[in-house]
Amino acid sequence: MDAVNRQARPTLVSIAQELGVSRQTVSNVLNNPSVVHPRTRERVDAAIKKAGYRPSAAGKALRTQRSMAIGLRLYRAVDGINGAVMDRFLHSLAEEAQRLGYQLTLLTADDAAGEVEKLETLYRSASIDLAVLTDTGMDDTRPARLRENQVPFVTFGRPWGRIATSDHCWVDVDGAAGTAAAASWLRELGHERIGFLGWPEGSGVGDDRRAGWWATVADLPGSAGLSVAVLDDHPSAGVEGATQLVARGATAIVCASDSLALGAIGHFRTVGRLGEAEVPVVGFDDTPVARATGLSSVHQPVEQAAVDLLELAFTVLDGKTPARPQRLLEPHLVQRRLQPFAR
């Protein structure tokens, strides 16, 4: 009753029969080669290659109780601009997982509750061994719920608001260090009235980035009070924010995102100050748009984050205790010369 012409797959048994050996020998050639005689090993290897045999993932998973898969929620692309960072992370994670023999299984959800529920379902059906959470927000409820349900997980992002009490593994990028580097650079350029354009308090990531700016400019009397918060992470909000900051006398601006920075640049474009670069703007995330625009920006090492995250995850999965289960990675500032849509 089965449908498509799915030809019989080679199996351990079929390979073994073909060679007149036991299937255990074939299995050993794959999983424990040192224990099998070189001559036999060669013969088996040749047969495996000839048949294009690959061990059945299902059979293996059933036996080993490991699916070799990682669950990750794919967020809806809100903003093609800042989404670029998550894009890079997704790609890095998929690549690193593949390198380690794991697969990345995507899921979609409307909210955190849906995400947790689906991750739990996947874990209970042994479809995934592990979950990766991203976009950790302030007082995120997901870690606690996954823990309750015994679903192993790691997070890309700190457990904001619960850092002291959380003991799960996480990797994050030190946003404060990034904005501090940006502000320092602007100071070196001679600016004393350096503004910050970000989001309202309470967002974890946003507060962190503001803190880095403030730590660097607090001793500059001119920079006090030059912090503006806008609601949306959107260029149009950046235009408004930059307008306010300039009105208050800012001569340079650190932004919490490239979206906002792009808007800020747009502001200066509109008022005709672009070429003069009288008000340097630094963005955050080093997105392709920043590269294209010549916008200086803080670059997050998401590739490293993916590698570290999986290292932590598999250490825990192996029952070992990882060194430094919480890791803060250093971003770096990419300095560029602003130019209209050039590379």
Partner DNA sequence: TTGTACGCGTTATCAA
Partner DNA sequence: TTGATAACGCGTACAA
The answer to whether the beta carbons of residues 220 and 196 sit under 8 Å apart is: no
- The greatest distance separating any two alpha carbons of the chain, rounded to the nearest whole angstrom, comes to 85
* Binding partner at 190 among DNA, a copy of itself, none, C-beta below 5 to 8 Å by kind: none
Nearest to 65 by CA among 339, 338, 317: 317
The answer to the question of residue 161 lying near DNA (CB under 7 A) is no
CB of 3 vs DNA, minimal distance in Å? 13
CA 291 – CA 27 distance, rounded (Å): 50
**Residue 40 sits in the site that holds DNA (CB under 7 A):** yes
CA distance 311 to 97: 10
DSSP string, 50-115: HHT----HHHHHHHHS---EEEEEPPP---TTTHHHHHHHHHHHHHHHHHTT-EEEEE--SSHHHH
Q: Of the two residues 23 and 299, which places its CB atom closer to DNA in the complex?
A: 23
Q: Is 64 in the site for DNA (CB under 7 A)?
A: yes
For DNA, the closer CB: 22 or 141: 22
In the range 11-30, which residues lie near DNA by CB under 7 A? 11-13, 20-25, 27-28, 30
User: In the bound complex, what is the minimum distance in angstroms from residue 70's beta carbon to DNA?
Assistant: 19
Closer by beta carbon to a copy of itself, 13 or else 74: 74
Whole-angstrom distance, CA of residue 126 vs CA of residue 115: 16
335 binds, among DNA, a copy of itself, none (CB under 5 to 8 A by kind): none
Choose the stretch contacting a copy of itself; rule: CB under 8 A; options: 23-31, 77-85, 171-179, 200-208. Answer: 77-85
Q: How far apart are CA 85 and CA 233, in angstroms?
A: 14
- By CB under 7 A, tell whether 304 contacts DNA: no
Residues of this chain that interact with DNA (CB under 7 A) are 1, 8-9, 11-13, 20-25, 27-28, 30-32, 35-37, 39-41, 53-56, 58-60, 62-65
